[in-house]
Amino acid sequence: MPALSAFVLNCSLKTSDKEPSSTDRMLSDLLAALEKHDVTGEVVRAVDHDIKPGVLSDEGDGDEWPALRQKIVAADIFILGTPIWMGQPSSVAKRVLERLDAFLDETDSKGRMPATGKVALVAIVGNEDGAHHCHASCFQPLNDVGFTIPANGGVYWVGEAMGDVNYVDLPGTPPVVVEMIEMAASNAAHLAAQLKEKTYPGTS
Amino acid sequence: MPALSAFVLNCSLKTSDKEPSSTDRMLSDLLAALEKHDVTGEVVRAVDHDIKPGVLSDEGDGDEWPALRQKIVAADIFILGTPIWMGQPSSVAKRVLERLDAFLDETDSKGRMPATGKVALVAIVGNEDGAHHCHASCFQPLNDVGFTIPANGGVYWVGEAMGDVNYVDLPGTPPVVVEMIEMAASNAAHLAAQLKEKTYPGTS
Amino acid sequence: MPALSAFVLNCSLKTSDKEPSSTDRMLSDLLAALEKHDVTGEVVRAVDHDIKPGVLSDEGDGDEWPALRQKIVAADIFILGTPIWMGQPSSVAKRVLERLDAFLDETDSKGRMPATGKVALVAIVGNEDGAHHCHASCFQPLNDVGFTIPANGGVYWVGEAMGDVNYVDLPGTPPVVVEMIEMAASNAAHLAAQLKEKTYPGTS
Amino acid sequence: MPALSAFVLNCSLKTSDKEPSSTDRMLSDLLAALEKHDVTGEVVRAVDHDIKPGVLSDEGDGDEWPALRQKIVAADIFILGTPIWMGQPSSVAKRVLERLDAFLDETDSKGRMPATGKVALVAIVGNEDGAHHCHASCFQPLNDVGFTIPANGGVYWVGEAMGDVNYVDLPGTPPVVVEMIEMAASNAAHLAAQLKEKTYPGTS
């Protein structure tokens, strides 16, 4: 298997100099699981960067998206991690997805977008309720712009209804979450390797 | 490339002895596009069959789901086609997805579900508005139960807001829809072949 | 305040002769809370009835929707209760919403649909994750066909991620759920009374 | 009827010094329709203001949300307008909804949130597909934080699938959209007046 790379965007609302992020904990666990499959990667906190509103790959004038976009394009696996707010992905995750919209017009001569041949995973953490909808809300635009979603490509943890337990404060990762992360990592690595070896031919 | 098979469920609310279904037209176009990639398949109208409510693979007592489930499990590519009602997938599509829930508990010794290694496409047709949400609402449960979503795995057509033009009555397929169908078919065939040759290893 | 009536549809996948439904427990609690505001009502299990696929108010040929539709139209408050499957409302709930689509064309001379002036609540119960999305997925079509959604019109309970605790087996209703139910009942009764006294004037 | 006020947030990705916004055109039409019911109001472009990420009513340090929040709290009717990107509300709309999350903890002695007794409308404009989902995605959090959704509280326009016609460039407002706007305005004014005269009693 070829060596593979992952790029992970944590779409927490909090900058990385604040208290520990539950989303970060899950993303670290996911990256550790990927390392067993020879995938190495980096986690970046999106909100540490000034991602301008817009749907172009470069909105000029202090826009820090182009550097993040470059990391997405350079990696074999893209992982979008977001907390849940009001049952939905964060506004930061939404901004990231919106900026990926530009891929729709950046096709090559075979009609393939910059994400074609890359695999995406989605990691969701919340105090309560919303993970499945967040998966749906992220899978659809990621797939629209060319990412492939491997089997069981969504991982998550949420607490009981109206709860306030934070994932980052759990004494250990629940066994069902460990299994889910292992499977998503294994599937993503397998599929990314296959697509790296022989990508989609596109249409002519 | 190995010969591949597709199974297509049309989740129209109308039985097949009634007027032509717009969803059928798109599904026929998609199957024709797949044939160019040596994929052969069959379209079945779900509502022609008595699919009982429940979340087991066999709900007994006249349940016609087991025979449909068998066709899904036997094929390399599963295509779910649904009309849009009130901006959402049909209740028939929802019933089909609900019955697939049983896959969650039907894992092999490597933790793989019956859909693992299979590819899914989603085809949406409506008079107006709702296709992206239908993609999201179908991708998420399909992926949860093990299907892989190839790049650009959703195809669709909808008319203008509050319109009443039927896709089946369009004089020809709009060129953007033709391109979209060609790409989805090409991507699905490529990925299904790769996964058929070497499926996900699962976890141990 | 005028005496008010409520009609409640439980969209469980299980017929009422099977084991107790978690959804039923929450709906009973909600109806008990409404009784304190002089609202009396009835709970019906939708799946006990043969609701045909379609988008007309009467699909003929054994269709049992017309009788249920009549109960909805006769009540001041409509409560839709559904379990969560794969993070989404049940196929039975989806069927009910689909049949309400007919209201869009059944307007009076002021453009008002049969649900105009009526209030709707949505009650969601699941082992885990999905309640907020189910609220969204029900509020939108209910509002499209004319129902008014009172403040805090969604009630719910779900357990921890991938859990298997059933609401019906909880030793008591969690205090946060009790409060949520009290508020929804109070708000629904207040608003239904106001709209019963003086309904929307419509447009001309 | 009492004089009523509306506050409108346009959640376009473009600042107001750029080209005309399609969302603005619909919001102007909606405000004009409300004026016939003695509702006066103001449209503000959210992206002209620095709305910090977070879920508190004041995130300090240059946060311009508190002034917008004050306008929401002062008005009887809140209108959220957003363009569609990738079938979903804009990241700017998502940010606004996220900041309203703070209302959940800002209850009075009767358990009522700051939005209780206020009415919300949602206006959606896009080149294509996504309006119903945007309604759902906005209704749910708005209702969670206390807003009441009047009958037919969502207005929208979208073009044909994959189209690029802008609403702002249409020669005239389509008659179905005019009717939809008139109805939403009439319903919002009626309900806001009722709730202003006698708001929800809350629970004790």
A4-56 residue pLDDT tens: 999 999 999 999 998 788 999 999 999 999 999 999 999 999 999 999 999 99
pLDDT in tens, A75-113: 999 999 999 999 999 999 999 999 999 999 999 999 999
Contacts of D144 in chain C (CB under 8 A): 132, 135, 152, 154
Compute the distance between CA of residue C41 and CA of residue D88 in angstroms, rounded to an integer: 37
pLDDT, mean over chain A: 96
Residue D37 pLDDT more than 70?
yes
User: Which of D87, D128, D156 faces B133 most closely, judged by CB atoms?
Assistant: D87
- D140 contacts C135? CB cut-off 8 A: yes
- D195 contacts C194? CB cut-off 8 A: yes
Residue C1 pLDDT more than 70?
no
User: Which of A149, A191, A203 faces B139 most closely, judged by CB atoms?
Assistant: A149
Q: CA B103 → CA B54, B57, B141, C122, distances in Å?
A: 13, 8, 11, 29
Residue D18 pLDDT more than 90?
no
For residue B135, give how far its alpha carbon lies from the nearest alpha carbon of chain D (Å): 10
Reading chain B (204 residues) residue by residue, the pLDDT tens digits are 679 999 999 999 999 998 788 999 999 999 999 999 999 999 999 999 999 999 999 999 999 999 999 999 999 999 999 999 999 999 999 999 999 999 999 999 999 999 999 999 999 999 999 999 999 999 999 999 999 999 999 999 999 999 989 999 999 999 999 999 999 999 999 999 999 999 999 998
- Nearest-Cα residue of chain A relative to residue D133: A137
State whether residue A180 is helix, strand or coil: helix
pLDDT in tens, D154-196: 999 999 999 989 999 999 999 999 999 999 999 999 999 999 9
Which residue intervals of chain C are DSSP H helices? 22-35, 65-74, 91-100, 131-144, 175-197
For residue A149, give how far its alpha carbon lies from the nearest alpha carbon of chain B (Å): 5
Mean pLDDT on A149-161: 97
Q: CA A140 → CA A47, A143, B23, C104, D130, distances in Å?
A: 22, 5, 20, 29, 12
- D151 contacts C115? CB cut-off 8 A: yes
Q: Which helix (H) or strand (E) holds A128?
A: strand A119-128
pLDDT in tens, D117-164: 999 999 999 999 999 999 999 999 999 999 999 999 999 999 999 998
Model-level pTM? 0.98
Contacts of B203 in chain A (CB under 8 A): 179, 182-183, 186
Pairing label, strands C39-45, C4-10 = parallel
For residue A11, give how far its alpha carbon lies from the nearest alpha carbon of chain B (Å): 20
Interface predicted TM-score (ipTM) of this complex, two decimals:
0.97
Mean pLDDT on D73-99: 98
For residue D196, give how far its alpha carbon lies from the nearest alpha carbon of chain A (Å): 27
- Nearest-Cα residue of chain A relative to residue D51: A91
Query: How many contacts does C have with D, using Cβ atoms within 8 A?
Result: 113
- The pLDDT score that the predictor gives to residue C21 is 85
Report all structural domains of chain D as residue ranges with CATH numbers, in order of start: 4-197 (3.40.50.360)
Residue C18 pLDDT more than 90?
no
- Nearest-Cα residue of chain B relative to residue D162: B176
DSSP letter for each residue of chain D: ---EEEEEEE--SS-TTSSPPHHHHHHHHHHHHHHTTTEEEEEEEGGGS---SSSSS---TT--HHHHHHHHHH-SEEEEEEEEETTEE-HHHHHHHHHHGGGGG---TTS--TTTT-EEEEEEEEEES-HHHHHHHHHHHHHHTT-BB-TT-EEEEEESTT----GGGSSS--HHHHHHHHHHHHHHHHHHHHHHHS------
pLDDT band at D1 (very low <50, low <70, confident <90, very high): low
User: Which of C132, C157, C176 faces A133 most closely, judged by CB atoms?
Assistant: C132
- A47 contacts D141? CB cut-off 8 A: no
Check: CB of residue C152 under 8 Å from CB of residue C183: yes
Compute the distance between CA of residue B66 and CA of residue B76 in angstroms, rounded to an integer: 18
pLDDT in tens, D74-85: 999 999 999 999
Q: CA D187 → CA B94, C24, D124, D137, D193, distances in Å?
A: 32, 33, 18, 21, 10
- The pLDDT score that the predictor gives to residue D20 is 82
- The pLDDT score that the predictor gives to residue D157 is 97
Q: CA B88 → CA C141, C142, C200, D199, distances in Å?
A: 9, 13, 27, 34
Nearest to B157 by CA among B78, B84, B77, B79: B84
